[in-house]
Structure 1
């Protein structure tokens, strides 16, 4: 047993040393390499001006601001579902910020770690109104489009088996091909995270002809992903996310962060903004890391409303992504 423990410790030490310099690598190149969705409105998409925008893009910007002092120092690497984990494991990107579900298998069978949940989602279905379908329970025998490399088909298998229903799978590697197939009626429904379905609907030839069903058949906790073996980088990514969530709870915004830093007497705000404690140094950063992140993108609520909220084309309500003290699930540990 002692020999096995010693061998495991040696393996873990070697694994850690392989990727223990992520922060040093980022600083040396002066750029954060961030993996994102190739084209998902609201989360990550390239505009006509060539600039990336979206919920996941803003997290990359906040992270670059915290680490490099400049939210513009990001190289966005578009990755499909099949490429994303291999690119991260190979060191082609420093962090994956791309609607990715946190599962046990992805942390135990793959060299990956999920620092936190940035968006609480669930899997749903979109159908054409002319089918007259009002519930996923009406979909037995349906031809269902899936994107390969995701958990979507497994979730449908579980749901349909439980309900004693059957379906015909139609698989595509690329989301664009899948959307085209659904739009042309080659499948009866398309299933994926509900947040993605809202974006997909806007890309159809006639968006008003389709509806997203109310049924949600799975838990899909989405969040950034890093490689295993670098605890310092894991902590930086985790606490940048938590800083944005805590900032919303405290009422600290992009416009007000400097004023809070100058005037606030609240101990929790002072710790978050680097006025008390050694929290920045403990991460391997300076005291203003969170100030820069918040100033670059705003707090979590500002990021959500700007990219996904009810005033955007997606019109997604906060729902379970509201703060824990406002009826949602969003909760971040304290900086203390």
Structure 2
């Protein structure tokens, strides 16, 4: 009985404290004058520093888009590099306003952490990379192999599930920091390295001899990666969700950072709503009607962001694949700005 009373009291406390803090992020961000985004500690193409020490990548561009929505200025953001163990705690505690770090959206994460995903900015799958010297062309030939993996991730769970389901023995080498895993793998401390295939591709470009390594064909999982915010804060949730959707919608309608001013003259009602020519869309979010125009002008549409960070204009040179627009056979489908 005592246990029940304690549990009930805890539930009431959580409900009250949750209500007290609900809906505050939007106002707090406005008050301090910038958006604090949690990003990875360094994954090229997603979030990493360039030669000038400036953060670049697909996830950083989303952070810039959120800043542009809030302040009409994409430069009003700061980043907090977080490893896999730190990321959720940093968001739960309020250290960051939004987690734009490459994070898989799952039911458990939406229902047990007090957090919630707002959309997908990269559809991925988990794979494994090995040295060609190992002489294998399939993960099914990795019996007895050592595999480097980060703890506290869906990657670690997927790895165990896949090898167990295929009745293959392996030995995990668990290392917390991503850059330490890369060093361990390149030094031969483990036979294979597993994470999302996009990360494997970007990491391969940083190794001393990229052609020495191969990503095996198997897909261990589905990895819908996207931003997360705290639950119970719908206005902020909407800002993050629609900043991403605006980038997707802009690409679908052919609105780019180069032609956005010309597109203000478009007679297409969808384009007029996206760019704020037709008033009201900003008011509904609590921001300027030109919020999406500002994103596109300063950050670009989703396709532009993908191209410079992960596509042909980047060292990764990844194909769009699942991340192509839905009319081109991909999964990217912007929700209507209307």
Counterpart for residue 4 of structure 1: none
Q: Alpha-carbon deviation of 1:332?
A: 1.7
1:111-146 Cα offsets, whole Å, 9 max, x none, are: 111000000000000000011110111112111111
Q: Alpha-carbon deviation of 1:314?
A: 0.6
* Cα distance in 1 between the residues matched to 2:166 and 2:13: 48
* Cα distance in 2 between the residues matched to 1:115 and 1:17: 22
Cα–Cα, structure 1 residues 289 and 13, in superposed 2: closer, same or farther, change >3 Å?
Answer: farther
Cα–Cα, structure 1 residues 155 and 91, in superposed 2: closer, same or farther, change >3 Å?
Answer: same
Is 1:89 matched up with 2:92?
Answer: yes
CA RMSD of aligned residues (A): 1.6
1:57-94 Cα offsets, whole Å, 9 max, x none, are: 11111110111111111111111111111000110111
Q: Alpha-carbon deviation of 1:282?
A: 0.8
- 1:111-260 equivalent positions in 2, closer than 5 A: 111-260=114-263
Which of residues 286, 291, 294 is equivalent to 2:293?
A: 291
Q: TM-score, normalised by structure 1?
A: 0.95
Counterpart for residue 332 of structure 1: 334
Q: TM-score, normalised by structure 2?
A: 0.94
Q: Alpha-carbon deviation of 1:233?
A: 0.3
Which residues of structure 1 form unaligned runs of 5+? Answer: 1-6
Counterpart for residue 273 of structure 1: 275
* Cα distance in 2 between the residues matched to 1:10 and 1:49: 47
The farther-off stretch of 296-305 and 132-141 is: 132-141
1:162-213 Cα offsets, whole Å, 9 max, x none, are: 1111110110011111111111111110000001001221222222111111
Are the counterparts in 2 of residues 16 and 230 from structure 1 also a CA contact under 8 Å? no
Are the counterparts in 1 of residues 200 and 215 from structure 2 also a CA contact under 8 Å? yes
SS in 2 for 1:168: strand
Counterpart for residue 5 of structure 2: none
Counterpart for residue 324 of structure 2: 322
1:247-299 Cα offsets, whole Å, 9 max, x none, are: 000000011112111x1111111111112252211111120111111111110
Is 1:282 matched up with 2:291?
Answer: no
Q: Alpha-carbon deviation of 1:310?
A: 2.4
Are the counterparts in 2 of residues 16 and 228 from structure 1 also a CA contact under 8 Å? no
Which residues of structure 2 form unaligned runs of 5+? Answer: 1-9
> Deviation above 3 Å: which 4+ runs of structure 1?
7-14
1:9-44 Cα offsets, whole Å, 9 max, x none, are: 996575243141111111111111011111111111
